[in-house]
Amino acid sequence: MHMADALLSPAVGGTMWVATAGTIFYCSKKVKQDLDDRKIPLMGVLGAFIFAAQMINFTIPATGSSGHLGGGLLLAILLGPYAAFLTIASVLVVQALFFADGGLLALGCNIFNLGVFPCFIAYPFIYKPIAGTNPTPLRIGIGATLGAIIGLQLGAAGVVLQTVASGISELPLSAFISVMLPIHLAIGLVEGLVTAAVVSFIWKSRPELLDLTAAARPLGDISLTKVIATLGVVTVITGGALSWFASSSPDGLEWSMFKVSGHEELEAPEKGIHHTLAVLQEKTSFLPDYGFKAGEPEAEGLVETASWPAVDSGTTTSGLVGGLMTLALALSIGLLFRKRSKTA
């Protein structure tokens, strides 16, 4: 559900940048006050895990569409909403700047849609009341599934409203929302099941982590070594190899756009802020679309037929490098606030 710049006017994109920057500032202040130093490594490895997991698009049967994990709800459950929002923002910044996944003008929208709704609505108002203070696998599953569905539905509605407010006539409100919400309902169901599986594993390994995070209390002396090591191994396997198995079908947003306009992508203006940001993104994205930059065109008749799984060194490199970059960025944010809190 990463929006491209072509879906937004400068006014709407700029407004969402301001809204997102304000949310980042607010979360930074809260994290500065409350961040438990023990969670900093977890922020890093979870950010890397979400980056790798988002590379895997799963097919939505009987639709011709695909979806991927959003990750905001999972982060909120394990880190609390404020650190979670900063972590998902780190993921999306790395994706946009270095992998050309989502536009730079649209970055504010993408962080808002994939961060605010799951972290500040789906988590406190849906997941926490259902999972409660004494979670069980069933309650975790129900809370995670409903939370993921609601969070993604709100995010999808946000995409539609931002696009309509931008005056994109090819995507009228009623037609666009009538396809966006149903397909993201299916995607949200899968995300909820994945979220429930990961949270259940951590609950079985370290139930104190969920309890203390839900209560916004320090972790004390509980060991997170096993959780961090396991997530690290899964991240490497996911980004390095499982990413080959990603569905080639268009994602929910592209699929919805095609259903309404007949095009999976729209053309951005060739002048102005759209062009300036597109040139900037082309310079910063050294692995665009999670692969090596195209070289010389292949000779006619030598182009290989696409296969599945798409075993590709560029994809593997993207998964590993992107995970490391997200790990470093999320860790840096945590360490920055730890330093400030100690010197305040």
By the 10 Å C-beta count (0-12 exposed, 13-18 middle, 19+ buried), 296 is classed as exposed
Q: What is the pLDDT at residue 343?
A: 46
Say how many C-beta atoms besides its own lie within 10 A of residue 220's C-beta.
9
Cα-Cα-Cα-Cα dihedral of 14, 16, 19, 23, to 10°? Answer: -120
pLDDT digits (tens, 9 = 90+) for 181-195: 999 999 999 999 999
Instruction: State the Cα–Cα distance between residues 224 and 219, nearest whole angstrom.
Output: 10
Which domains does the chain carry?
Answer: 5-291+309-343 (1.10.1760.20)
pTM: 0.94
Distances (CA, A) of 305 to 247, 301, 302, 313: 16, 11, 9, 17
Q: What is the pLDDT along the chain (344 residues), one digit of tens a residue?
A: 899 999 999 999 999 999 999 999 999 999 988 878 888 999 999 999 999 999 999 999 999 999 999 999 999 999 999 999 999 999 999 999 999 999 999 999 999 999 999 999 999 999 999 998 888 899 999 999 999 999 999 999 999 999 999 999 999 999 999 999 999 999 999 999 999 999 999 998 888 998 888 888 888 888 889 999 999 999 999 999 999 999 999 999 999 999 999 999 999 998 999 999 999 999 999 999 999 987 644 434 434 545 677 788 999 999 999 999 999 999 999 888 775 544 44
| Beta carbons within 8 Å of 6's beta carbon, 6+ residues apart | 103, 265, 266, 267, 268, 274
Q: What is the rounded distance in angstroms from the CA atom of residue 44 to the CA atom of residue 69?
A: 18
Q: What are 17-52's pLDDT values in tens digits?
A: 999 999 999 999 999 888 788 889 999 999 999 999
